[in-house]
Structure 1
Amino acid sequence: MSNELTISENSGAARAGSATEGLTGGGEQAGFASLPANPTRKAEIERIMREDFDLYERSGLNREYLALLQAEQYQINPDSVNPTVPMQADQSRIALCSSEAGRKLVSDWDSMGGFKAHLANVQRDVAEIVRSMGGNRAQRVFMEHFDREVPVPARLAVYDEIAAGVSAYVPPASAGEVKHFTATPAGAALVAEWGTTASEKVAMLRTRAKRINDALSEDDAHEFWFWLDEQAPAAAAAIFRKMAG
C-alpha cells in the first residue's frame, strides 16, 4: 500500500515518504518503484545491453530498464500497470530513511534478522491485501488514499506489525468481544467465515491492534483508525483477514 514498498508510475517520478506508494499516488512510496518515461535513457541502456550484457546485468541496468518499460506502458494505459511491483530493497531503504520513524524502522529490521528479509515479507503481505481490492485501478486508488490519509508513523507501525507476524498464542476473545467485533459489516462477515476459530482470530486482531496503538501518538492513532473505519466492508475485511493470520 505504500510509497515505501512499491514502484509508483502515476507521478512520473520517484518519491519518498509515504506508505502505499508501494502499498501509490499522494504519498511517499518506499516499497513499490517509479521512474519517468525517458526514451533517451532507454536507448542508452539498450546500447549497453547489446554491447556488454554482463555489465547490463551486473550494474542493475536491467532493473532500471524494466522500470522505464513500465513507465512507458503507464503513459499508454495506466490501468494495465501492476501497482504492486515491489521496490528494490536499496530504494526502499532510502525512501524509508526520509523520516525519523522510517530510520528507526530500518535500524530495527537490520538488527532483527535483516532489513531485506523483513521488507520482502511486508511487500508480499501488503501486495496480497492490495490485490484483493480488485483490478489495477481499484488497487491504485486504495494505495493512493492510504498514502494520503494515513500519517507516516502509522503507516510504518502497520509495516512493522506485519513484519512481526502473528503471535504464537493469544488467549481467545470473550463472547462479548466477538459480539462487539460483529457490530460492523466486515466483522460480521468474518466471524461467519471463521466459524469456530472466530474467538482466536478476534483475539489476534485485538492483540495486534493494541501493539499498533501503543506505537503511535494519540493523534496518529486517531487518524489511522478513522481511515480504517471509513473503508468499505470488503476492504476492511481483507485487512482484518490478513492480520488475523
Structure 2
Amino acid sequence: MINVYSWPTPNGHKVHIMLEECGQKLGRDWQVHPIDIGAGEQFSPEFLRISPNNKIPALVDSQGPDGRPIALFESGAILIYLAAKFGKLLPKTDRQKFEVLQWLMFQVGGVGPMLGQAHHFRVYAPEKIEYAINRYTNEAKRLYGVMNERLKTSPYLGGRSYSIADIAVFPWLRSWQNQGIDWADYPELKAWFDRIAARPAVQRGVAVLADARKPLTDDKAREALFGQQQYGKKR
C-alpha cells in the first residue's frame, strides 16, 4: 500500500494525479492522509519524520525498491519514483528521458516557486506591495510565455508523449486568475491545459481532498503558512 500525506494544493495534486494515471485506485492501491496545512498539522513530529521540510506532499510506500518501506518528500522526487516504480510517464531512452526531466525541473525550480509568490503577494499578503505584485506577476507571465512557445512545436511539455512534466505543471495553472493571467495571450498553452484537464485520471486526482480545502482567511491559518511557526525549531 502507498500512503500519501497531502492536502489539495498544486503540489499535492501532482501526486494524486500521478497515482491515478499509473492505474492506482484510491482506497485500493493507495491511501490519502490529509495534512491540514492551515491548521499547522505539517509541524507535527509524526509528519516531520517523513517530511523534514514540513511541506506536503510526502509518501510512504510499504513495498519500496528492495521490498522494504521507503519514505519520500518533495513532489518532483515522488513523481520520478512513481514513474520508475510503475514504468510509466517517463521515457526509457536517455534522450527522451532527459528532455522530460528538464521540464520537470523547470516546474520545480521556476513554475512552482514563482507562481507561489504571485499567489502570495496578489492574494494572501497582509499588505499590497506594488513592487512584489508586479515582479511576480511579470514572472508568471514570462513563464507562461516560455511554455506557450514550447507547445508551438511540441504536443506536450516533455516531448511527443504525455509525461510527469505535464503532470507537474498542470495543477499550478489551475489558479491562473490569481496569477494575473489572461489565457487569450497563451493560446497554445490554453489548448494544452484543456486537453490535460479533460483526462479522467486528472479529474480524479484533483478531486482528492477537494472538499477539505477552505479559504485561508483566519489568522491561525496565515500564521501556520506564513508566520514564525515556519522558522521555529523542528522536533
The TM-score with structure 2 as length reference comes to: 0.31
Higher strand fraction (1 or 2):
2
Comparing both chains, which one has the higher relative contact order based on Cα–Cα distances under 8 Å and sequence gaps of 6 or more? 2
The TM-score with structure 1 as length reference comes to: 0.30
Higher helix fraction (1 or 2):
1
